Structure 1
């Protein structure tokens, strides 16, 4: 009987010691990684520099993985992926040769601090004949969007 009583007291003390009241603390929410696209939204027909700045709070992120996806409106399947080169101070760049006027788009696919951010920007190159510009299919998803849609179904 004494052994059972001693075992019960020891078990209670052990369980009480393991409770650190962590349930009462609010979980720490990480600061969001932000990507500021610095590519102009209008440019001449020439080599274009795709550029973005990656920050978290007031800190520049120097070790992000940045890939620029670039395509002409209505032709996303013919687009290209360009690796962003780190230039310092959280800035990443890639260059692309643009051969004719048109409406173009880019995603700045950015992975940093365990987060993935992909802002999109429209870029008007030269003075395109808008009657000849193919419309952008807003229902087109890149592979990441499709995976997210399938998971939520």
Structure 2
């Protein structure tokens, strides 16, 4: 290989390495910002009192939003609840849509204990399941 061909090969090698490095950096920047900038997330603010009484109605509210806008047409909003650590005996009840993205569930506990409440919310091809507990005496 003559001197000019070696020089051309070295120059082309540096150019290819530089292009490959730029491409990798662009891909990393794209992956790191895509998750926070263009994707709207389904958000559910589950409201449940921390304490309740036997034989008194308890109300749970799931406020469903996406990009700070109320979701009035969720595909499904179900509340699941159970006492203490006995999830095998959980009950699922469909929530009632109220207004302003709020879905309501009411139940009356018949026994003292810790009740777990999960709101199963599906909307805009997303699903989320926030959980809270309430102490009933």
The TM-score with structure 1 as length reference comes to 0.62
Partner of 1:59: 69
Q: Is 2:124 the counterpart of 1:113?
A: yes
Structure 2, unpaired ranges of 5+: 1-26
Distance 2:103 2:73 in 1: 10
Greater share of helix: 2
User: Greater relative contact order: 1 or 2 (C-alpha under 8 angstroms, separation 6 or more)?
Assistant: 2
SS of residue paired to 1:77: helix
Structure 1, unpaired ranges of 5+: 1-23, 127-153
The TM-score with structure 2 as length reference comes to 0.69
1:14-48 CA distance string (max 9 Å, x none): xxxxxxxxxx9x66732111100111122222121
Distance 1:87 1:30 in 2: 27
Distance 1:44 1:97 in 2: 9
Say which of 40, 45, 52 aligns to 1:43.
Answer: 52
Deviating 4+ runs (over 2 angstroms): 26-30
Q: Between 28-37 and 65-74, report the one with greater CA deviation.
A: 28-37
Distance 1:40 1:88 in 2: 20
Partner of 2:95: 84
RMSD of the alignment, in Å?
1.8
Say which of 32, 53, 56 aligns to 2:41.
Answer: 32
